[in-house]
Structure 1
Amino acid sequence: MNLALFDLDNTLIAGDSDFQWAQFLIEKKALDRELHEARNIEFYEQYKAGTLDIHEFLDFQLKPLARHPRAQLEAWRKEFMTQRITPIIARGTRELVERHKLDGDLCIIITATNSFVTAPIAHALGIEHLIATEPEEKDGEFTGRVSGTPSFREGKVERLEKWLDAHNLTWLSFLRSWFYSDSLNDLPLLSKVTHPVAVDPDPTLKSHAERNNWPVISLR
Structure 2
Amino acid sequence: MQVYKVKVVFFDLDDSLINKDANSLWIKWRVRRERWALVEATLALASLYRAYKKGRVTHWRLSNYYKTRARGMALSVYQQRVAQFFEERGHLHIYPQAASLLYAYQSQGVELVMITGADDYVARAYADALGITHVISNRLKVVDDRIVGLQRPLCYGSGKVGLARTFLRERGLKFADAAFYTDSHADLPLLEKVAQPVVLNPNARLRDAAELRSWPCLDWRPLKN
Equivalenced residue count is 215
Shift of 1:66: 5.1
Q: CA deviation at 1:164?
A: 2.6
Please state whether the residue corresponding to 1:28 is helix, strand or coil: coil
Q: How does 1:10-159 map to 2 (within 5 A)?
A: 10-29=15-34, 31-33=36-38, 35-42=39-46, 43-65=48-70, 67-139=72-144, 141-159=145-163
Contact 1:93 1:219 in 2 (8 A): no
Per-residue deviation, 1:54: 3.8
Q: TM-score, normalised by structure 2?
A: 0.87
Please say if residues 63 and 143 of structure 1, whose CA atoms lie closer than 8 Å, have aligned partners that are also in contact: no
The match for 1:161 is 165
1:121-163 deviations in whole A, cap 9, x for unaligned? 1111100100001112245x24312222011111001111122
Q: 2:3: which partner in 1?
A: none
Amino acid at match of 2:62: F
RMSD across aligned C-alpha pairs, in angstroms? 1.9
Give how far 1:85 is off: 1.4
Q: Distance in 1 between matches of 2:69 and 2:52?
A: 20
Runs of 4+ that moved beyond 6 A: none
Q: Which runs of 5+ in 2 are unaligned?
A: 1-5
**TM-score, normalised with respect to structure 1:** 0.89
Distance in 1 between the 2:158 and 2:207 partners?
19
The residue number in structure 1 matching 2:214 is 213
Query: CA–CA distance in 1 between the matches of 2:14 and 2:146?
Result: 23
Q: Which consecutive unaligned segments of at least 5 residues does structure 1 have?
A: none
Identity %: 24
